[in-house]
Chains A and B, each alone.
Chain A
């Protein structure tokens, strides 16, 4: 396998609902990536596209729609869906194509327009799709799943409501410094603790909404392009994981879970991160910047443990002691996280990778981590989807 580098990245800043279509946002992100990489469109030899699930036929063939905007060249275009880890899947396919020598330069992108209102069931066959059951009979919007796990954590490890609020305080401080973020207001502990419960113990400011956004990454093994790029970022590993039998986590859309654990919690992310550590040769102790999926304050805490940055039950102390701040040994979510962005389903994993790349390239302005060498983007999607990307200069 060849060494593969990120040479160009582009983002359409995260925002709320828009009347514009996903391809408009995708084009902005891809244009940005091409300019950053300083490569012509004709150099792109494969497109790995995250699909836009609410976009009908066009959304499910997002790669073809994107290609036609920039000019069709006959290259392989593959469209992929892995829930909120879709971006990880597109990047991994692009990486594997380039690393294996099938192509020299490839594009991964995802673009999502927030649906109006809440996410809900997308079919009506309860036998085929148990998501129908959870919406029709279960009364189970996504944050309830997080709240059920959060309550277990509070009982088991003594996580407090202040800990959950502190995550938002920290994320809002960083999000305010990120031009790509949707939410730029900073919050005090009191303001977060005074916000309404959505599903007790999680409050309005402790869960992330759905957003609109797009992200694109151009990777290459072409030595000429690498030499011309501004601080190319090496991909040391980009992996995906699925769940393991006996994982006790109650997964979004499921109606049951095992009561006797035979695998780690969030085993899809345990698996993806351990694969990445093995392939890259780096471990948690080597990571300077970590972007983790803080869909809620609970996720922020549990992901530090799932990915091995501390032992089970120790994440709260890491947070309270400031060990996850910019300036500490490990900077967690200097972007402001999902808390400051919201989820743009097929784009968010790529956006996390871009934040890591921008940190390594020293482009992050007021939220810049000092001289980072290794960064890790960790995402996760419902029903057992996860991706990890480890990068270095």
Chain B
């Protein structure tokens, strides 16, 4: 397992690695059954009582529903120490939760990307902060 002790997410409450697996932090409405990501992005079914929203971690694996390859750097406030362009962006589907989530694709040959392929959630180091912590975002990579 990777050493996650010195890592910090650039924005909290989006990605969790406390269980040993990297998983996205979602919320589920137990009234209308809808999953949200980010978890504060409520999108209830009209007429839902909105009662019983609970935090939930998405599975670590999903399938690639769509992707693109970005050839130009993302402007600030996006920031990485190393050049990452061209980078892949995937839309990964978590089937049981009926949700697709965007994320940067890492550690994957971009030429091998294909809709339907299995992906897993990971983290991507963006930069090192003043406290010498590695600041990360969530990302996806092809399942080997």
Residues of A within 8 A of B (CB): 117-118, 120-121, 126-127, 130, 132-141, 144, 147-152, 155, 196-202, 245-246, 250, 254-260
Question: Do B70 and A139 touch (CB < 8 A)?
Answer: yes
A199 to B110, CA, bound (A): 12
Shortest C-beta distance, B108 to chain A (Å), equals: 15
**Residue B16 interfacial (CB < 8 Å):** no
> Min CB distance, B129 to chain A, in Å?
13
CB-based closest 7 A-B pairs = A147-B68, A137-B137, A118-B75, A256-B37, A200-B69, A139-B74, A199-B68
Number of interface residues of B (CB under 8 A): 47
Interface string of B61-76 (1 = CB under 8 A from A): 0000111111110111
Task: Please determine whether B66 and A141 come into contact, CB atoms closer than 8 angstroms.
Answer: no
CA distance A254 to B38 in the complex (A): 9
Q: Take A151-B115, A199-B70 as given contacts and tell me if A139 and B98 are in contact as well, using a CB distance cutoff of 8 Å.
A: no
Q: Tell whether, in the assembled complex, residue A196 and residue B71 are in contact, meaning their CB atoms are under 8 Å apart.
A: yes
Please, could you name 29 A-B residue pairs with CB atoms under 8 Å apart, sorted by A?
Answer: A120-B76, A120-B77, A127-B13, A130-B38, A133-B14, A135-B75, A136-B11, A137-B10, A137-B126, A137-B138, A138-B102, A139-B74, A139-B89, A140-B102, A141-B72, A141-B74, A144-B70, A147-B89, A151-B66, A151-B67, A152-B115, A197-B69, A199-B71, A200-B71, A245-B45, A245-B46, A250-B102, A256-B102, A259-B99
B residues touching A (Cβ–Cβ < 8 Å)?
A: 9-11, 13-14, 34, 36-38, 40-41, 43-46, 65-72, 74-79, 84, 87, 89, 91, 93-95, 98-104, 115, 126, 137-138
Determine whether the beta carbon of B11 is less than 8 Å from that of A201: no
Please give me the residue from chain B that is nearest to A149 by CB atom: B66
Q: Are B78 and A148 in contact (CB under 8 A)?
A: no
**Contact of A117 with B100 in the complex, beta carbons under 8 Å:** no
Q: A128's closest neighbor in chain B, by CB?
A: B40
Q: Is the Cβ of A256 less than 8 Å from the Cβ of B71? A: no
Contact indicator A259/B102 (Cβ below 8 Å): no
Given A257-B91, A260-B98, 4 further pairs, Cβ under 8 A: A138-B104, A139-B78, A149-B66, A152-B66
Cβ–Cβ contact B115 & A155, under 8 A: yes
Instruction: Return chain A residues, CB-CB under 8 Å to B38.
Output: 126, 130, 133, 255
When the two chains form their complex, are residues A256 and B11 in contact, meaning their CB atoms are under 8 A apart? no
A132–B99 touching, CB < 8 Å: no
Q: Which of B94, B100, B104 contacts A139 (CB 8 A)?
A: B104
Chain A residues whose CB sits within 8 angstroms of the CB of B11 once the complex forms: 126, 132-133, 136-137
B81: min CB distance to chain A, Å: 14
Taking the closest CB of chain B, its distance from the CB of A57, in whole angstroms, is: 24
How many whole Å from A148's CB to the nearest CB in chain B?
5
Instruction: Please measure, in the bound complex, the distance between the C-alpha atom of A133 and the C-alpha atom of B12, giving whole angstroms.
Output: 10
Alpha-carbon separation in the docked complex, A208 to B28 (Å)? 37
Contact check, A259 vs B93: say whether CB atoms are below 8 A apart.
Answer: yes
User: Across the two chains, which residue of chain A brings its CB closest to B80?
Assistant: A139
List the B side residues contacting A257 at CB < 8 Å.
Answer: 91, 99-100
Contacts of A137 in B (CB 8 A): 9-11, 14, 78, 126, 137-138
Shortest Cβ gap from A263 to chain B (Å): 11
Partner pick for A148 among B45, B68, B77, CB 8 A cutoff: B68
Contacts of A121 in B (CB 8 A): 77
Contact A201–B137 (Cβ < 8 Å): no
For A246, the closest partner residue in chain B by CB is: B45
Measured CA separation A132–B12 after assembly (Å): 12
Q: Is the CB of A135 within 8 A of B78?
A: yes
